[in-house]
Amino acid sequence: MSSMIDKTTAEDRRAAADILDDLQAVLSAAAVELPSLGIDWRSATSTGVILIDLGAARPDVIERLVVVLRRGKRP
């Protein structure tokens, strides 16, 4: 049987997974790969808050990410 926190965060967990998929698609289209990108499911289990972990990446990868973000920035 699922714990109460699993039941109360089910929708948030699905939304986080969808958002992560969207982020991976956008980054992939821009040729940016964050190798440790993922969802921190443990945080949800202990706090009820779902976190997307951007993880660690080399400086050149983060530089490409910054370029992508700057291009997409709207005034």
Q: What percent of the chain has pLDDT over 90?
A: 55
User: pTM value?
Assistant: 0.78
State how far the Cα of 18 lies from the Cα of 33, in Å rounded to an integer: 17
Q: Using one digit for the tens of pLDDT, what is the confidence trace for 24-57? A: 999 999 999 999 999 998 887 778 889 999 999 9
Q: What was the pLDDT predicted at 75?
A: 56
Two tokens, residue 66: 């910054």
State how far the Cα of 33 lies from the Cα of 57, in Å rounded to an integer: 9
Q: What percent of the chain has pLDDT over 70?
A: 95
Element (H, E) at 53: strand 51-53
DSSP secondary structure of 22-41: HHHHHHHHTT---TT-EEEH
Query: Is the four-CA dihedral 9, 11, 12, 17 of positive or negative sign?
Result: positive
18-22, 42-46, 51-55, 66-70: segment of lowest average pLDDT? 42-46
Q: Where are the domains of the chain?
A: 4-72
